[in-house]
């Protein structure tokens, strides 16, 4: 059992981590410290800003050796690599659908609930 020791006084956000609360409190600040010069994105979180700037970078850090896919986001790259695997981790028990992407699989399962 985890208890929430830190609560936001401006909304219902709660956490067990003081640093998380400090980061959250920045979301209530009306002025933004980090503003993108290439679009209207603005934030008070330095890390989020750095991640955002990668969107505008034309050269890509992660390049797939099996196709043209390229990205600056490690999580997107890892997800993409799974598309080339022939064996699929997630298989639907109600049809032939199979994938290595858990979120795609969850979305597919909703098709059978309709």
Q: For the chain, give every residue range classified as CATH 3.30.160.60.
A: 6-56
Which class does domain 60-114 fall in?
alpha beta
Predicted confidence at residue 2, as pLDDT, reads 60
CA distances from 109 to 97, 101, 106 (A): 9, 13, 5
Domain 6-56 has CATH 3.40.50.720: no
Is pLDDT of 71 > 70? Answer: yes
89 vs 99: CA distance, rounded Å: 6
CA 112 to chain CA centroid, Å, is 26
Tell me the average pLDDT across 29-58.
92
CA distances from 110 to 31, 82, 106 (A): 40, 22, 7
Predicted confidence at residue 26, as pLDDT, reads 86
Residue 27's pLDDT band (cuts 50, 70, 90): confident
pLDDT in tens, 74-86: 999 998 998 899 8
Query: For the chain, what percent of residues have pLDDT higher than 90?
Result: 69
């Amino acid at each position: 059992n985890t208890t929430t020791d830190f609560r936001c006084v401006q909304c219902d956000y709660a956490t067990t981590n003081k640093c998380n609360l400090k980061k959250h409190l920045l979301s209530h600040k009306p002025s933004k410290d980090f503003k993108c010069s290439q679009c209207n994105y603005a934030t008070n979180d330095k890390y989020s800003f750095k991640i955002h700037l990668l969107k505008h970078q034309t050269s890509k850090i992660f390049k797939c050796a099996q196709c043209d896919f390229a990205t600056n986001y490690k999580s997107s790259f890892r997800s993409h690599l799974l598309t080339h695997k022939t064996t699929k981790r997630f298989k639907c028990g109600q049809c032939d659908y199979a994938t290595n992407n858990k979120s795609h699989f969850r979305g597919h399962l909703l098709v059978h609930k309709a």
